[in-house]
Structure formats: structure tokens, C-alpha cells
Amino acid sequence: MDSPGPVNGKARIDYTQDTLFGPLARHVECQVSVRHTPRRMELRVFQPLPDDLHAAQTVVLALEGRRTSGVVKARQRLPDHSLKLELEPQ
């Protein structure tokens, strides 16, 4: 089964980070590209992006009227200064 192509647009990203004082909730609006696979979701976030997004543990993404949540399983900074997050959908 082929996965559909990426969905691109401006999205609201709510994310959490674990700190010594417990989870810290943050949010940002960024240009993104989202690609779904059978077991993972690849979220690519373009500049400008917050300095701490790479440390997110969970992500809730609102794009085109749909909300998707996931746990960050892998992260990678790309040569064009964007950030790729691999999420396990919840």
C-alpha cells in the first residue's frame, strides 16, 4: 500500500520536554511537511524554529484542521537547518 505524499503547510505544534521539575509544555507555529507511513509519521519543521524543539518528547500537531499526536522516536537536524522528527502516532 502506497502512502500518500507529504502534507505541507503552517501548523501549530504543541510539545513537551522532560525537565528536573517535571514536564514543560510549549507551543510554536511553523512551516512543516508531514509524511505518514504505516507505523511512523515523519515531521519536518522548517526555519525559523525554536531552539528547544529538538528536545521534545511528545508532539501534538494541528494542520489543515486535523490534530495528530505522537511520541518522538528519532530526531535529526538537516543540512538546510530544518529539523526532522520521527513520531510514533498515539
pTM: 0.88
pLDDT digits (tens, 9 = 90+) for 36-51: 888 899 999 999 988 8
Could you state, in order of their start, the residue ranges of all structural domains in the chain? 1-68
Instruction: Read off the C-alpha cell for 1.
Output: 500500500
C-beta of residue 85 within 8 angstroms of C-beta of residue 75: yes
Work out the pLDDT band at 89, boundaries 50, 70, 90.
very high
Instruction: Read off the C-alpha cell for 67.
Output: 490534530
